Amino acid sequence: MGSTIRIKICGVTDPEEARAIAELGADAIGLNFYAASPRYVPFAQAAALLRVLPPFVAPVGVFVGVPMRQVCAIAYQLGLRAVQTYHDPPLREDAFPFAHIPAFRIREAADITALESYLAAAQQNSRLPAAVLLDAFVPGQWGGTGQAAPWELLENLQLSVPWILAGGLTPDNVGEAIRRLRPWGVDVASGVEWQPGRKDLDKVRRFIDAARSAAT
């Protein structure tokens, strides 16, 4: 893993919070376009958040159940860098020029096997995603649950693409997660909030500091 960890703060809904999170050192900011989420940002309001981001902080759009053609059209209109998709089954289409991060909800060993099969098929078709996000499985919910993924299934995980850990991360456990699992990146939403969609900037700072320290 080296001394680098990539940090995404997801479910940001307020431009001033987006600016502050970027200044605290986040690598990416997630905008949730799933209307059923308490962190939902309408497309018309997304531009206000994107305008405040500095050049080297990547905006990532989060989509649930949206076809890839529509995902890419929205990403183009907004100027997103990457798209994170929750879809059943996972989307296999090419998202270029956008970095595609399909999310996988992990509950049991069979889910890891399914992930590996997905990546093998993608590699055979020369369409590997840029990374994959591994989240907790909570029936009927697509991320942002505050529930931890089963870490014991992710130890010593070797995939053909970078993987990002999500699910139940907080300033208090992210360091342990990084030291134990050695992910390429970490993703947090509810673990740094004072209410859904609104970030506690002190928690964000502590989360980023803990993650950076653990990766050194």
Which amino acids are annotated catalytic? 10, 135
Q: DSSP string covering 21-79, please? A: HHHHT-SEEEEE--TTSTTB--HHHHHHHHHTS-TTSEEEEEEES--HHHHHHHHHHHT
Angle, helices 174-181 vs 201-215, to 10°: value is 30
Question: How far is CA 52 from each of CA 22, 46, 139, 202, rounded to the nearest angstrom?
Answer: 9, 11, 35, 20
CA 212, CA 24: separation in Å to the nearest integer?
Answer: 12
